[in-house]
Amino acid sequence: MRNYTLNSWKKDTKATKKPDYKSRMNGKLIIFSAPSGAGKTTIVKQLLERGLNLEFSISATSRTPRPNEVHGRDYYFISENEFKTRVSAGEFLEWEEVYSGICYGTLKSEVDRICSQGKNVIFDVDVVGGLNIKKHFGDRALAIFVQPPSVEELRIRLQNRQTETAEKIAMRVAKAEYEMTFAPQFDVIVVNQNLETAVNEAEKLVRDFIATA
């Protein structure tokens, strides 16, 4: 489902995935990835309240904010041009054109900002971005895949959210089917059948991981 309209630009900017970048401090990296609508954002928000010394990595995106979203809290909302400039400047740890014409990326400065405060970083990113971050940080990162009970359930959740048009929901569902195929590459899969159970399971995984040397 990935759309490659910006690919020629991407090929010119391989420097964004420099393998030599390491954040300066030693916090742990907790990665949450999932098909859209699987509940990962809700799980991430709840984990932030559970005393795990976590801070959210605020991604940059070229999409427009939804009602209730705040620049600098949910995302750094920037124009496509600014996004491209910052890709060329090597400011991203990873970035993806998650939807056609819409880019999302993790800024190296975010990881540094959080780790320099002695905190652990929690990411809410797409499956490809999540695996790239895991590859980059290895054992310092825990990559968790949040799986919806089924694709049909996912469609219902997206419809109930009422933030997207029918066309966009169809696009996200099709993409979700593709994204599910990445699940086995993650360190662990949490099935979000029941939100409270999934949050508790995720909390235990994160707590245990942070406690390891």
Residues that bind ligand 5GP (CB under 6 A): 36, 59, 63, 94, 96, 98, 104-106, 124-126, 129
Q: Which is nearer to ligand 5GP, 188 or 208 (CB)?
A: 188
For the bound state, the minimum distance from the C-beta of residue 204 to ligand 5GP, rounded and expressed in Å, comes to 22
Q: Which is nearer to ligand 5GP, 126 or 209 (CB)?
A: 126
Residues 119/112, Cβ–Cβ less than 8 Å:
no
For the bound state, the minimum distance from the C-beta of residue 81 to ligand 5GP, rounded and expressed in Å, comes to 18
- Closest-by-Cβ residue to ligand 5GP is 129
For the bound state, the minimum distance from the C-beta of residue 19 to ligand 5GP, rounded and expressed in Å, comes to 17
Q: Which is nearer to ligand 5GP, 64 or 81 (CB)?
A: 64
Q: Which is nearer to ligand 5GP, 66 or 208 (CB)?
A: 66
Q: What angle do CA 132, 150, 183 make, to 5 degrees?
A: 20
Quote the crossing angle between the two packed helices 195-211 and 40-47, to the nearest 10°.
Answer: 50
Q: What are phi and psi of 13, to 5 degrees?
A: -120, 35
Q: 3-state SS of 53-74?
A: CEEECCEEECCCCCCCCCECCC
* Alpha-carbon distances of 44 from 10, 11, 88, rounded to whole Å: 29, 32, 30
For the bound state, the minimum distance from the C-beta of residue 138 to ligand 5GP, rounded and expressed in Å, comes to 18
Q: Which is nearer to ligand 5GP, 18 or 208 (CB)?
A: 18
Q: What is the CA radius of gyration of the chain?
A: 16
For the bound state, the minimum distance from the C-beta of residue 203 to ligand 5GP, rounded and expressed in Å, comes to 19
* Alpha-carbon distances of 62 from 71, 92, 181, rounded to whole Å: 12, 14, 26
